[in-house]
Chains A and B, each alone.
Chain A
Amino acid sequence: MLRKTIAVIRREFVERVRTKAFIIGTVLGPIFFGAMAIIPGLILSRGSVGQRVVVVDGTANAFGERIASVLAAAKMGDAPNGKPLYAPVRVSAAGRVQDVVDSLVPRTGLSKKSDESLDGLLIVDEGSVTTGKLRYYGKNVGSMEDMRQLRSSLTPLMISERLRSVGVDPAVAMRAAAPIDLDTRKVAEGKLTAESGASTFLLAYAMGIILYMALVLYGTQVMTSVIEEKSNRIVEVLVSSLTPFQMMLGKVVGVGMVSLLQLGIWAGAFLLLQKNQAKILGMFGVASAGGGIASILPTMDPWLVVVFLGFFVLGFLFYSSVYAAIGSMCNTVQEAQQLQTPVMVMTIAGWFSAFALLRDPTSSFAKVASLIPPLAPFVVPVRFSIARIPLPELLLYVATMIIGLLLIVWVTARVYRVGILMYGKRASFKDIFRWVRAA
């Protein structure tokens, strides 16, 4: 008997993994993650790179040289491996600044690309340090981003120059001006947790969206494939050698394994992308924005992973059995759309209740929601991520979830058994009630 169920699981799994939809979806996922990481960076730092700037140095001291070296060191987004923003050249022009400028302006901002063409001239005078006045003649003066970048590249140098001129060690001053590093940690139930406020939210958000997506995407896959088997009349062949329960179990587990595989590939690709984030961003000339989900993943409690996966599996079985039963009641996908609305509402309610308890994970609302099987898969992992739930309490939630699951499987299997062989009009709720009661 088990062998037949395994055959159904294998068929469901292999045929699904082979589809173009699966392959495209699996490949597009990481590309989507990658784009999500790169595009904001691209937008943030749309400024130009490798600008050919000539530092026209009208000073007798080394200030112009220092400016040139600061510019040469400026990287995209201040990342150590970002692309250099400037390709500066210093021209010593003490006493003949105007002549040099006059000779260089005709070579600046040429529309045709040539090695001779310059992007701008930065003119440093003897009085620049005291007045804070620098002149920049360039083709990109209209770019606020470029100008902001240029200003912020030079500001620290200017400050330290001024400090030096009044006899203060710039290093001391920089140390004194260091910003406050505020380390935030969540305290729940009198215990200090590992996560910061932002990462708690991010983690809960990530878990919620993964669960919601998996339930809706793969749950509806279970549903449509039941409808497809029904309309293809394959059920008549299958039902003569398989029990409806084997068919339903095989389908739910098979699709569930596909979902785990796809999510696993996505998670792996995501971690890989995050790990090499700087490298990949560098390839696109974009600075790493830093932070993100990767920064909290290493701190993720292994127990949380267990709880999340456990409730993910239980929740998936719960919801996809319901989806299978809905599929069995309908003859077309259109019919099923209406019937699945209550299920969608439940998943959305689960997601929202998970967020509602972020504020107070030990409220009685959170505890009650943890005991309701359709909500528990969302609520319990999120609660656990904020503050570890005591083991007896956690076991209670697992037990109610399993009882709820068995109950729903019992009901849905009965609906499924009758539903798959019913053609014609869609079953009414009265009919379904009768099917469940009938032995």
Chain B
Amino acid sequence: MAETVIAVEGVTKRFAGHTAVRALTLTVPKGGIFGLLGPNGAGKSTTIRMIMNIIMPDEGRISLFGTSAGGRSLSERIGFLPEERGLYKKMKVLDQLIFFAETKGLSRGAGRSKALHWLSRLDLDDWTNHKVEDLSKGMQQKVQFIGTLLHDPELVILDEPFSGLDPVNSQVMRDVVVEVARGGRTVLFSTHIMEHAEQMCDRIAIIAHGAKVVDGALADIKREFGGRHIAITFSSNSDAARPVLEDQHLIKRVNDRGATAEIELAAGASPDALLRALVGCDVGISRFEVAEASLQSIFIAKVGADGARPTAITGGN
């Protein structure tokens, strides 16, 4: 197991009248992209704000980089994009970014050169000396995004980073996030758009009603959930496969059509083991496909119609 960057242990947060986060435990390892998924009002933002030490948990502990010093004292190492975007409307774009850099401990000079680099990277060169209020919403979001990444943080926490962006800008930002993560940094982002998480995340956690439903490596979750169905096409010697297909340890159900077979794996069996067994009995295989469940279907199956229903008071998200 890699070094742990964020450890949330048994955290509960109550607001007047309802519990936003319930005994939540999360572990975000160093490196890669971690997706925090859940329907609206599930407690994603509340969790992130507690991680950032903006609000205090009622119970449980949160540690970042192995210390419980809190997000603020580690702010030089963390980039945070809150769900509610906030910029000084009357400030010029560059001045604003330099100020953000300063609050992260960068010198003005370093802040300026980083800001200029990012502004040109995200095609905002022409807007450097415009006031923020003159920018479109999408451009403002890019500026805020730059403010998050300016100081080259080891840990980037993004709350709903792609909401409200057009497909082109959304793609630009996703590319940046992927690139940031590729550089050995850790990205945690929350979203309720499953396609984004599916494309980008190495690990995910799904929460609903403030409680964790599932978490782990995306591949493991998919395998565990959806990778139970396998389609095989035999090219030759399909009879030799019969004993394998009848093995109760491997196969729960089989739809044998002779040249092709659709299989549901037995509990505890893996597609790898099945493939090894088939290869071992010398059959010719022209197709071996693990029919993956989409994250969407996992999400719906795990959270259910009930989980996506907003609670009476949807605070904290």
Contacts and interface: CB of A to CB of B under 8 A. Distances in A.
Interface in A94-133: none
B55 A421 contact: yes
Contacts of B147: 237
A3 B75 contact: no
Interface string B41-57: 00000000100111100
Contacts of A7: 99, 102-103
B71 interface: yes
A237 B100 contact: yes
B72 A4 contact: no
B166 interface: no
A241 B90 contact: no
Interface stretch (A146-154, A187-195, A227-235, A402-410): A227-235
B72 to A, nearest CB: 6
Contacts of A3: 102, 105
B86 interface: yes
Grouping DSSP codes into helix (H, G, I), strand (E, B) and loop, the A interface class, with mixed when no group exceeds half, is helix
A20 B90 CA distance: 11
Which of B89, B91, B103, B105 has most A Cβ within 10 Å? B103
Contacts of B72: 239-243
Contacts of B80: 237, 240-241
B75 A233 contact: no
A238 interface: yes
Interface string A11-37: 100110001000000000000000000
A237 B99 contact: no
Contact of A236 (B54, B78, B89, B102): B54
B87 interface: yes
B258 to A, nearest CB: 62
Interface in A211-262: 229, 232-243
Contacts of B86: 229, 232-238
* Tier of interface size on chain A: 20 to 34
A8 to B, nearest CB: 8
Interface string B87-108: 1111100010001101111000
A240 B79 CA distance: 9
A298 B115 CA distance: 51
Contacts of A421: 54-55
Contacts of A15: 88, 90-91, 95
B18 interface: no
B306 interface: no
Contact of B82 (A229, A233, A243): A233
B104 A241 contact: yes
A4 B85 CA distance: 21
Contacts of B52: 240
B84 interface: yes
Contact of A4 (B55, B82, B102): B102
B209 to A, nearest CB: 21
Contacts of A232: 86-89
A172 to B, nearest CB: 73
Interface string A313-356: 00000000000000000000000000000000000000000000
A345 B86 CA distance: 34
B84 A236 contact: yes
Contact of B103 (A233, A236, A241): A241
A19 B102 contact: no
B99 A236 contact: no
A7 B84 CA distance: 23
B87 A234 contact: yes
Contacts of A243: 72
Interface string B22-51: 000000000000000000000000000100
A237 B33 CA distance: 22
B27 to A, nearest CB: 21
A3 B55 CA distance: 25
B54 A242 contact: no
Given A4-B102, A7-B102, A7-B103, A239 B54 contact: yes
Interface in A400-439: 421
B69 to A, nearest CB: 13
Contact of A241 (B75, B87, B89, B144): B75
Contact of B99 (A11, A229, A239, A240): A11
A7 B99 CA distance: 7
A243 B69 CA distance: 13
A151 B49 CA distance: 84
A421 B52 CA distance: 13
Contacts of A234: 86-88
Contacts of A236: 49, 54, 82, 84, 86
Contacts of B78: 240
Among A8, A15, A236, A238, the most chain B Cβ lie within 10 Å of the Cβ of: A236
A241 B102 CA distance: 10
Given A4-B102, A11-B99, A233 B84 contact: yes
A189 B52 CA distance: 61
Interface in A272-317: none
A242 B54 CA distance: 11
A4 B88 contact: no
Contacts of B87: 232, 234
Contacts of A233: 82, 84-86
B81 to A, nearest CB: 8
Nearest to A239: B54
Contacts of B144: 237
B139 to A, nearest CB: 16
A253 to B, nearest CB: 15
Interface string B182-197: 0000000000000000
A238 B103 contact: yes
Given A8-B103, A14-B95, A236-B82, 13 more contacts: A4-B105, A7-B103, A11-B99, A232-B87, A232-B89, A235-B86, A236-B49, A237-B100, A237-B144, A240-B52, A240-B78, A241-B104, A241-B105
27 contacts: A3-B102, A3-B105, A7-B99, A7-B102, A232-B86, A232-B88, A233-B82, A234-B86, A234-B87, A234-B88, A236-B54, A236-B82, A236-B84, A237-B80, A237-B100, A237-B147, A239-B54, A240-B54, A240-B71, A240-B72, A240-B75, A240-B82, A241-B104, A241-B105, A242-B103, A243-B72, A421-B54
**9 closest residue pairs by CB, A with B:** A7-B102, A234-B86, A233-B84, A241-B75, A233-B86, A236-B82, A241-B103, A240-B80, A11-B99
Interface of A: 3-4, 7-8, 11, 14-15, 19, 229, 232-243, 421
Interface of B: 49, 52-55, 71-72, 75, 78, 80, 82, 84-91, 95, 99-100, 102-105, 144, 147
